[in-house]
């Protein structure tokens, strides 16, 4: 039976950021977000020499510079850390606001905010001439990273992260260790690796890496506008649930 690609694409756009979640939809959305995170992380490093998704490194930098000296880097690290946390907090506020009101766009609202931030950043960052513009870039990128890592955490019940590559690589190692463990003890359940989880994690790490290559090479070629297509992609994914809520609002009785 031939596949109706137009219908399949419509269903994908309708469901991928919708309120009803399945493991497949979670992986599809996480794949887009991991690719986007890789792009933003590399653009941030090439532009301002900060990995804006790497809170482990940021925290370690704060600690090191408190001991070794270098208060400027301490304050940059604190700014990055607070921005990331603020992004995650904003995700929780937006999500719970939408959930309490029964919105179909409870997840899409967060994607909309992320997309708008990335779009404005991509279009205006090049023209910003303020002497401390790098601080603005760090705030925007770290806030966006916190926002998107929090939304996929909410969607997947903390099973998936898109910026925390250390955790994903650790889980890959654990599953590979289970594959390598061949000992069988009578009376005990065998150690069984989760091939599906291993494949999912490997895909997300690979997409983060691919996004990093695209972000670094794209920035060197085009500058900050390299992030604009990813903002438009997120707007596209958020569109169907947002449109559905707007239609419901128009049909709702007034007064």
d(CA 47, CA 40): 10
Say what the pLDDT of residue 50 is: 85
Tokens 């992986």 correspond to 27
Hey, what are 173's tokens?
A: 């190692």
Tokens 């925390």 correspond to 164
pLDDT at 133 exceeding the cut of 80 = yes
Say what the pLDDT of residue 3 is: 43
The closest alpha carbon to 226, from 52, 33, 13, 44, belongs to 44
DSSP one-letter string for 163-224: S-HHHHHHHHHHHHHHHH-----TTSPPP---HHHHHHHHHHHHHHHHHHHHHHHHHHHH-G
Say what the pLDDT of residue 165 is: 83
pLDDT at 1 exceeding the cut of 50 = no
pLDDT digits (tens, 9 = 90+) for 80-115: 999 999 999 999 999 999 999 999 999 999 999 999
Q: Tell me how crowded residue 2 is: count the other CB atoms within 10 A of its CB.
A: 4
Q: SS3 letters for 66-98? A: HHHCCHHHHHHHHHHHHHHHHHHHHHHHHHHHH
Q: Tell me how crowded residue 161 is: count the other CB atoms within 10 A of its CB.
A: 24
DSSP 8-state symbol, 19? S
To the question of pTM greater than 0.85 for the whole model, the response is: yes
Q: Tell me how crowded residue 192 is: count the other CB atoms within 10 A of its CB.
A: 9
Say what the pLDDT of residue 81 is: 94
| Length of the chain counted residue by residue | 255
Say what the pLDDT of residue 7 is: 55
- In this structure, of 140-154, 180-194, 225-239, the range with the lowest mean pLDDT score is 180-194
d(CA 68, CA 73): 11
pLDDT at 188 exceeding the cut of 80 = no
């Amino acid at each position: 039976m031939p596949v109706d690609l137009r219908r399949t694409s419509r269903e994908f756009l309708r469901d991928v950021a919708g309120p009803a979640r399945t493991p497949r939809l979670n992986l599809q959305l996480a794949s887009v977000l991991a690719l986007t995170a890789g792009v933003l992380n590399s653009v941030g490093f090439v532009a301002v020499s900060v990995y804006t998704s790497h809170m482990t490194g940021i925290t370690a930098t704060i600690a090191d510079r408190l001991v070794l000296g270098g208060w400027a880097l301490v304050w940059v690290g604190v700014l990055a850390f607070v921005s990331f946390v603020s992004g995650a907090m904003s995700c929780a506020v937006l999500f719970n606001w939408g959930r309490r009101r029964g919105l179909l766009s409870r997840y899409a609202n967060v994607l909309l905010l992320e997309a708008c931030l990335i779009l404005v950043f991509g279009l205006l960052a090049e023209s910003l001439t303020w002497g401390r513009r790098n601080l603005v870039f760090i705030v925007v990128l770290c806030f966006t990273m916190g926002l998107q890592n929090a939304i996929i955490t909410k969607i997947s019940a903390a099973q998936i992260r898109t910026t925390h590559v250390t955790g994903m690589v650790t889980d890959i190692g654990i599953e590979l260790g289970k594959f390598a463990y061949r000992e069988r003890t009578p009376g005990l359940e065998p150690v069984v690796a989760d091939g599906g989880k291993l494949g999912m994690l490997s895909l997300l790490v690979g997409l983060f890496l691919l996004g990093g290559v695209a972000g670094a090479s794209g920035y060197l070629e085009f500058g900050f506008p390299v992030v604009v297509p990813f903002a438009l992609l997120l707007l596209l994914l958020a569109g169907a649930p947002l449109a559905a809520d707007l239609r419901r609002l128009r049909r709702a009785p007034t007064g």
